[in-house]
Structure 1
């Protein structure tokens, strides 16, 4: 079971309004937008914020073709209208308290958005400018967005400038916003917009104009509760899957150990002795005698078995390197070290590497 895809399926249903039933008594998202607009106008009037001169007359609604249909009481909104995307208070290293939480990208687990470790300034040296964030902010990584690192801050602190603290001012449930930003739909949007080859990042303007499916506030809470319930079940499945995989690996190891010690199946006195088989191999190879007596035996084996060196029963030789120019779409399959390691770890290997029969014979 691919639990990663299962999580994304749940998020997809959630942001399309299909995870929980619609309640006709909920205040529609349009009323929520009206309150946001009124609050912004009041703040502009009090000169607490400046009007966005770059915005069009319709500053809230997403004007392009919507990515998908949503329920009637939902609205498509620009992300930058719901939060001050990219407008963050910064702090120099000298302004950061020694006990302050310092968050870097490597502290967040990819795809799950879980906090891997909480580090304070007195535990690591920091010389760079930081973005400040407070409890409840959605911490969004604009760098390499495909890693899907999004976190809701449970405490105030300072983060790298590659992480943007997003304050939705109570109009969007932070956990709901986090799930939207981690959905495949949003990942696909950022993949189209990101610039840079080695370290792609989402530009501020593209982030502000990103389409955001906004449900009524009450429904946001219901959606978050359902997502958390389903994700808890998936976590349990993953834990059980991990325990099962460990048990399978241990069982395979034990079976192989019993097999090489001659304890897996009963011995048949009518079977041809391994010493006879080894003698026959030695004659075929024109060897004078077996070299089995020249090394230490790791453990005792049944009477019908015999210890020998690997080279006594097969030919071991080095092969030529297979260059990419010699790879074929069909022919003799071959494995590189990476595929052999996966096979040794009981991983699935979908091998599609081949060489010509002529190349194989010349090895």
Structure 2
């Protein structure tokens, strides 16, 4: 392959540029710098005093939408505009600077000019008789690869006039440029049509996967995901063991006597569900949402799960760059704890009662995240404390992984949606403690969790 050389316009020096040439061109094509086939300019900064309800339109990055100039949100200035900064038909407008790297370099041809227009400081203009072909080049990987090469050296993503002028562009003969432009006009609508269909298909798949996931969750907590095995015992036996363990802890002074106020939920001879506590028996048939296997048992969350609330840390106490991380409701996401905008508490150890442990389930009680939960199944990387409006569900007797499925199930999420305070999207500790949970025997809990993740992992492939 022959080498490529460039004669420097300022000094006349001839330099080999083989390392800059990305690929070979067909016969009749030539490599050139974009400055040799166009003129480019960067826009000006206009002060607030220049802005007016009438005057010259100032194009900004928001006016470039899907490769077209859209004038539905414009700024105008009364300042006199120099001729080189006036936008004319067939000029190409380019976003030259933006906080988002994805926006830098997006461009559009100006198809018509019905009134005076210019462009702002973060924009550039390219004027060329080869506008049709250059507009295609400005959407190519070749252009953006050169753009990435120059913008990565700055703290702000930007395209400068000098950098733009130095970009290499492969130029075909005029007639071939016209054919390329015509073919692109034929192909792009087809591609855009496929893109729209693909987006609809992706949305359908996401919605379908979410619906299937919810259905599997509901099947899991209704005893329909795995078969029942007689040898595994019953949930009633499990709940009796929990009650006996509580009585032992109360006797040893490790648990308050109030923890023994357990209720018993049972199906009466009238085929209705009743709840018996120390004072009375109450029919709760309207609270039971579905039937469960005979070996399962309904029970209140407070009877089998320890429920803890967070501490109301003042914002002034969460300014330290070091210390224990404090988990707020905004940190709870379906994918785990958020790892951005972390806050820490560097005070004394008197608040360790709010310490979060491995296998805890955190439930958001307020705001836009209400009802969202996260199960901390992995070993914690650091000490965590619960902030106010974060409910901590801790279970020594019921599988935390199975409890996590119940909390995420449509059954519990519907209860939260129906009973939350409509004023501030708030749920109370009382509501959470009163959740009626469908409990299977311990070994079945493990099998249910395993089967659930086997089925849902298929949807992620």
* CA deviation profile, 1:19-59 (whole Å, cap 9, x unmatched): xxxxxxxxxxxxxxxxxxxxxxxxxxxxxxxxxxx94599x
Distance 1:281 1:99 in 2: 78
* Structure-1 residue corresponding to 2:157: 200
Alignment TM-score, normalising by the size of structure 1: 0.56
2:298 match: secondary structure: coil
1:194 touches 1:201 (CA, 8 Å); kept in 2? yes
Structure ranking higher in strand proportion: 2
**1:163 is matched with which residue: 110, 123, 144?**
123
- Say if 2:233 is the partner of 1:290: no
Residues 89 and 132 in structure 1, CA contact (< 8 A), matched pair in contact too: no
Alignment partner, residue 106 of structure 2: 149
In structure 1, the residue matched to 2:72 is 119
Larger Rg: 2
Matched, 1:245 2:198: no
- In 1, Cα distance between the equivalents of 2:112 and 2:223? 58
TM-score, reference length from structure 2: 0.46
SS at match of 1:76: strand
Deviation, structure 1 residue 210: 0.8
Question: Match of 1:306, SS?
Answer: strand
Relative to structure 1, the CA distance from residue 101 to residue 252 in structure 2 (aligned partners, 3 Å threshold; closer, same or farther) is farther
Written as runs of structure 1 = structure 2, the 5 A alignment for 1:1-363 is 55-56=9-10, 64-65=17-18, 66-86=21-41, 98=54, 102-108=58-64, 113-114=66-67, 118-121=71-74, 132-144=86-98, 146-147=102-103, 148-156=105-113, 157-169=117-129, 171-173=130-132, 176-194=133-151, 197-216=154-173, 217-225=177-185, 227-228=187-188, 229-257=190-218, 259-260=220-221, 262=222, 273-286=234-247, 288-290=260-262, 300-302=289-291, 304-309=296-301, 312-313=304-305, 339-340=335-336
Q: Identify unmatched segments of 5+ residues in structure 1.
A: 1-53, 326-335, 346-352
Q: 1:128 to 1:285 in 2, by over 3 A?
A: farther
Secondary structure, counterpart of 1:85 in structure 2? strand
Query: Unmatched 5+ residue regions in structure 2?
Result: 1-7, 248-258, 265-274, 278-283, 311-320, 324-330, 339-362, 364-368, 370-377, 384-461
1:194–1:289 CA distance, 2 compared to 1 (3 A): same
Measure the CA separation in 2 of the matches of 1:177 and 1:282.
78
Deviations 1:202-260 (A, max 9, x none): 22112112101122323422552365133432332222222222222233234434544
CA drift at 1:70: 1.6
Q: Is the 8 A contact 1:76 1:212 kept in 2?
A: yes
Paired residue total: 277
Partners of 1:202 and 1:227 in 2: CA distance? 29
